[in-house]
């Protein structure tokens, strides 16, 4: 019935209306068993609504959810074989770490010896010291709480584990560590993970596939490589972070014209068939100074400022009239020597640019 | 040097100030206790002759036993009923967002601000026009009108700090609605429930104006104290007064001990 036997979770034409507002609009999605799938979208894109529908906390206005070929629309959250790691983790404050982890097993009527054995196994899997078993939840740090929340969800032994951006409240370094740990846990357990986040960068690190959601619509589904190198439109291209965007009109098979300044650029031979759209050039492939002089596509401008990003340095170049600006990044051990106010040339290779739709 | 001397003065002022407040609050109660231990018929300060015979009489007296049971029965019933009602009332007050919640929040608090004597009179008029004979049963009802809003308010404070996502998480992990209530909601809200119960009991135990109008032929301890003050004073009055204070304090201490024990037990498991 599902076409392919490997389809584990399937969403068909899921729509959710809140009054006149359409939170989700005809969402279709198929997720395979054992996959790490991430839904990415800005706030208000409908990603939280979608995950609440999948967990069973909300029901869709129309559409169907299939798990292993069975419709689960009418199953309430406590009857679904799935569970979620909440954004604020929702650890029970009146229970110890062990009692939190064992909660689902206690509800299922598992005897206390088996429960404790499994809880200790999970603490070990999540690299938590075993004496945490008797610890109070309030005595645990942010990273420890993340792991406890994950252990509690794994103890439920769900078919699918959902994550509602649980890492968003953590500081940068801890988040980076836990992203990788989560990917490792995914590999070790072989479970199906469905994760939502507003950070495409976070999604890239962990996911097998990514779905980009905006204004209730799934815009693009693909591997991290697809999303990064073959964004479907301007929204997806800009979602990753800072990019140079130039509005262009097609004037030949492999040539476009800047619709503002009239400058003409060469296109990649593989570029999409689009009459007018946007040329996307990432800051790290943009060249500046001498290395730009022999590039087929060039723009002249004035160096405005530079910013240290750690491993790289970013330069901002503005047009003479100040209307447009571009970003260029170089490795920090290969800086560009120029002063603010200098006239500079920037340029890029046609194959480093991406032509996308509105 | 200057600042350390200033600091000393400030510290001394704080000690004097808190001492003055404590004397102001507790001296009247202390004087009642002293009056109950005097041999003379009327209280004189300083007490010249100490005596405990009024306590012996109080424990032997059948009418005191009646008074105690009337007060105790009213307070117990008021506690049980108001805790159950205020629990759901507090959820409506602080947890759920619903149409008319603002109005509910205001209306439920209004009875606290009615003068109790007026409230008692109004209730008495209602009872007699409805043909209800007043007794300690009707007093339970009148106490509830005044105490229920207070208990609702006390529990609401705890409910405000309750994150509904805890319930969602438990539900998501397979718990039924009833299991969520037993495992999550009730234990987390229990400190608020216990303090609500203590308030309910003590406010009912010590209430005079509402009881005066609505107990009918039955008499509570505060009513008896008042009537004996008006006519027929004996040191039994301060004796029973002291016992009332002692009982109230005992309940507060007992509930602290129980709460602490419960907390330790939970920490150990």
Nearest beta carbon to residue A78 from set B175, B184, B267: B175
What is the signed CA dihedral for A329, A334, A337, A340, rounded to 10 degrees?
Answer: 30
Asked if A104 reaches chain B (Cβ–Cβ under 8 Å), the answer is yes
Average pLDDT of chain A is 89
What is residue B269's predicted lDDT score, i.e. its pLDDT? 45
Query: Looking at CA atoms only, how far is residue B77 from chain A in angstroms?
Result: 29
Q: Which residue of B has its CA nearest to A101?
A: B173
Residue B143 predicted with pLDDT over 80 = yes
Neighbours of B125 (CB within 10 A): 11
Average pLDDT of chain B is 89
Q: What is the DSSP string of A173-194?
A: HHHHHHHHHHHHHHHHH--EEE
Q: What is the pLDDT of residues A46-91, one digit of tens each?
A: 999 999 999 999 999 999 999 988 899 889 999 999 999 999 999 9
Q: Which residue of A has its CA nearest to B262?
A: A94
- The boundaries of the domain holding residue B93 are 65-268
Which CATH code for domain A242-356?
2.40.50.140
Which residue in the block uniquely carries the two structure tokens 């709480």? A145
- In A, which residues are within 8 Å of B266 by CB distance? 94
Q: Which residue of A has its CA nearest to B163?
A: A90
Q: Where in chain A is the domain with CATH 3.40.50.300?
A: 7-233
Residue B45 predicted with pLDDT over 80 = no
Report how many helices (DSSP H) and strands (DSSP E) chain A contains, helices first: 8, 20
What is residue B2's predicted lDDT score, i.e. its pLDDT? 60
- In A, which residues are within 8 Å of B162 by CB distance? none
Q: Do B166 and A93 touch (CB under 8 A)?
A: yes
Token duo for residue A302? 């004035």
- In B, which residues are within 8 Å of A104 by CB distance? 173-174
What is residue A3's predicted lDDT score, i.e. its pLDDT? 44
Q: Where in chain A is the domain with CATH 2.40.50.140?
A: 242-356
Quote the DSSP letter at residue B184.
I
**pTM of the prediction?**
0.80
Asked if B265 reaches chain A (Cβ–Cβ under 8 Å), the answer is no
Measured N-to-C along each axis, helices B186-205 and B136-160 cross at an angle, to the nearest 10 degrees, of 140
What is residue A69's predicted lDDT score, i.e. its pLDDT? 86
- In B, which residues are within 8 Å of A110 by CB distance? none
What is residue A99's predicted lDDT score, i.e. its pLDDT? 94
Asked if A156 reaches chain B (Cβ–Cβ under 8 Å), the answer is yes
Nearest beta carbon to residue B188 from set A93, A153, A156: A93
The fraction of chain B above a pLDDT of 70, given in percent, is 97
What is residue A51's predicted lDDT score, i.e. its pLDDT? 93
The total number of structural domains in chain B stands at 1
Helix (H/G/I), strand (E/B), else coil: A310: coil
Query: Looking at CA atoms only, how far is residue B4 from chain A in angstroms?
Result: 38
What is the signed CA dihedral for B91, B95, B100, B106, rounded to 10 degrees?
Answer: 70
User: What CATH code is carried by the domain that includes residue B137?
Assistant: 1.10.3720.10
Asked if A139 reaches chain B (Cβ–Cβ under 8 Å), the answer is no
- In A, which residues are within 8 Å of B193 by CB distance? none
- The residue-averaged pLDDT of B237-263 equals 86
Flag whether B248 is in a domain: yes
Token duo for residue A209? 């596939």
**Below-50 pLDDT ranges, chain A:** 1-5
How far is the C-alpha of A254 from the C-alpha of A355, rounded, in Å? 11
Q: Where are the alpha helices (DSSP H) in A210-256?
A: 224-229, 234-239
ipTM comes to 0.82
How far is the C-alpha of B67 from the C-alpha of B85, rounded, in Å? 27
Fold of A7-233: Rossmann fold (3.40.50)
Token duo for residue B3? 């600042």
Nearest residue to A353 (alpha-carbon basis) of A217, A259, A246 = A246
Q: Do A103 and B170 touch (CB under 8 A)?
A: yes
HSE at residue B268, side-chain half, CA atoms within 13 A, is 6
Asked if A110 reaches chain B (Cβ–Cβ under 8 Å), the answer is no
Flag whether B227 is in a domain: yes
Cβ-based contacts under 8 A for chains A and B? 62
Asked if B178 reaches chain A (Cβ–Cβ under 8 Å), the answer is no
What is residue A90's predicted lDDT score, i.e. its pLDDT? 93
Measured N-to-C along each axis, helices A97-107 and A112-125 cross at an angle, to the nearest 10 degrees, of 130
Q: What is the DSSP string of A110-139?
A: --HHHHHHHHHHHHHHTT--GGGGG-BGGG
């Amino acid at each position: 019935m599902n076409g392919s036997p490997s389809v584990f979770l399937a969403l068909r034409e899921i729509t959710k209306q809140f009054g006149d507002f359409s939170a989700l609009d005809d969402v279709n999605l198929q997720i395979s068993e054992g996959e790490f799938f991430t839904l990415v979208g800005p706030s208000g894109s409908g990603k939280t609504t979608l995950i609440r529908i999948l967990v069973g906390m909300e029901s869709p206005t129309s559409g169907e959810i299939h798990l292993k070929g069975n419709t689960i629309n009418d199953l309430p959250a406590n009857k679904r074989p799935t569970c979620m790691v909440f954004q604020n983790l929702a650890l029970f404050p009146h229970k110890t770490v062990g009692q939190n982890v064992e909660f689902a097993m206690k509800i299922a009527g598992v005897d206390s010896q088996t429960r404790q054995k499994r809880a200790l196994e999970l603490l070990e899997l999540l690299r938590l010291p075993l004496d945490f078993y008797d610890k109070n939840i309030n005595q645990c740090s942010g990273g420890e709480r993340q792991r406890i929340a994950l252990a509690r969800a794994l103890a439920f032994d769900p078919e699918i584990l959902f994550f509602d951006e649980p890492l968003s409240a953590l500081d940068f370094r801890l988040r980076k560590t836990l992203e990788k740990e989560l990917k490792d846990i995914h590999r070790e357990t072989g479970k199906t993970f469905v994760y939502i986040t507003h950070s495409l960068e976070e999604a890239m690190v962990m996911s097998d596939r990514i779905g980009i959601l905006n204004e209730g619509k799934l815009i693009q589904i693909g591997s991290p490589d697809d999303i990064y190198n073959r964004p479907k439109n301007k929204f997806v291209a800009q979602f990753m972070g800072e990019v140079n965007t130039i509005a262009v009109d097609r004037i030949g098979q492999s040539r476009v014209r800047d619709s503002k300044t009239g400058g003409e650029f060469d296109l990649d031979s593989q570029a999409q068939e689009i009459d007018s759209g946007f040329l996307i050039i990432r800051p790290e492939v943009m060249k500046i100074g001498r290395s730009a002089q022999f590039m087929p596509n060039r723009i002249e401008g004035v160096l405005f400022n530079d910013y240290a990003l750690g491993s790289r340095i970013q330069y901002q170049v503005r047009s003479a009239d100040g209307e447009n600006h571009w970003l260029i990044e170089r490795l920090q051990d290969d800086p560009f020597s120029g002063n603010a106010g200098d006239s500079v040339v920037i340029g890029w290779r046609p194959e480093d640019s991406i032509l996308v739709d509105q | 040097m200057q600042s350390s001397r200033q600091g000393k003065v400030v510290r001394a002022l704080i000690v004097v100030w808190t001492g003055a407040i404590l004397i102001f609050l507790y001296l009247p109660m202390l004087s009642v206790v002293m009056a109950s231990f005097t041999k003379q018929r009327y209280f004189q300060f300083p007490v010249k002759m100490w005596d405990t015979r009024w306590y012996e009489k109080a424990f032997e007296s059948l009418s005191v036993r009646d008074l105690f049971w009337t007060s105790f029965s009213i307070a117990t019933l008021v506690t049980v009923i108001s805790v159950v009602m205020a629990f759901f009332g507090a959820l409506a007050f602080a947890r759920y967002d619903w149409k008319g919640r603002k109005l509910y929040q205001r209306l439920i608090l209004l009875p606290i601000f009615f003068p109790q004597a007026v409230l008692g009179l109004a209730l008495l008029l209602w009872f007699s026009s409805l043909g209800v004979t007043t007794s300690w049963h009707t007093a339970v009802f009148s106490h509830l009108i005044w105490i229920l809003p207070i208990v609702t308010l006390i529990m609401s404070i705890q409910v405000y700090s309750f994150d509904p996502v805890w319930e969602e998480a438990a539900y998501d992990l397979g718990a039924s609605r009833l299991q969520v209530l037993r495992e999550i909601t009730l234990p987390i809200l229990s400190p608020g429930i216990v303090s609500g119960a203590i308030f309910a009991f003590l406010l009912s135990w010590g209430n005079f104006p509402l009881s005066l109008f609505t107990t009918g032929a039955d008499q509570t301890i505060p009513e008896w104290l008042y009537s004996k003050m008006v006519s027929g004073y004996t040191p039994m009055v301060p004796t029973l007064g002291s016992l009332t204070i002692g009982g109230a304090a005992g309940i507060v201490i007992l509930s602290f001990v129980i709460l602490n024990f419960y907390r330790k037990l939970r920490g150990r498991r």
